[in-house]
């Protein structure tokens, strides 16, 4: 199956919108836990079509308490 970059961007936007509320609930739950392991990792970041012409660097954070794992990319 072939799929365009624009279609991938559209799919990602729809998935992000659908998962927004569960993500906020997971993050709120994780922040209330007494122990959580946290990590920050740098990574190249792309725009909607996947390109990164300026070489911009982004960050991905992960928070892992006992029950839920939360990833945030900025």
53-65 pLDDT tens trace: 777 778 888 999 9
The mean per-residue pLDDT over the stretch 23-48 comes to: 87
Confidence band (pLDDT; 50, 70, 90) for 28?
very high
| Bridge partners for 40 per DSSP | 61
pLDDT(47) > 80:
no
DSSP 53: T
14 pLDDT above the threshold of 90: yes
Task: Give the C-alpha separation, 32 to 47, whole Å.
Answer: 33
> What are the φ/ψ torsions at residue 37 (nearest 5 degrees)?
-95, 135
DSSP bridge partners of 41:
60
pTM of the model: 0.64
**Inter-residue contact 57 to 14 (CB < 8 Å):** no
State residue 45's pLDDT score: 74
pLDDT at 48: 59
HSE (CB half, 13 Å, CA atoms) of 66? 4
């Amino acid at each position: 199956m072939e799929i365009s970059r624009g279609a991938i961007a559209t799919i990602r936007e729809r998935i992000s919108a659908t998962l927004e509320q569960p993500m906020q609930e997971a993050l709120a739950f994780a922040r209330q836990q007494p122990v959580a392991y946290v990590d920050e990792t740098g990574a190249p970041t792309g725009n909607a079509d996947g390109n990164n012409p300026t070489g911009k660097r982004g960050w991905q954070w992960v928070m892992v308490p006992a029950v839920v794992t939360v990833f945030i990319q900025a």
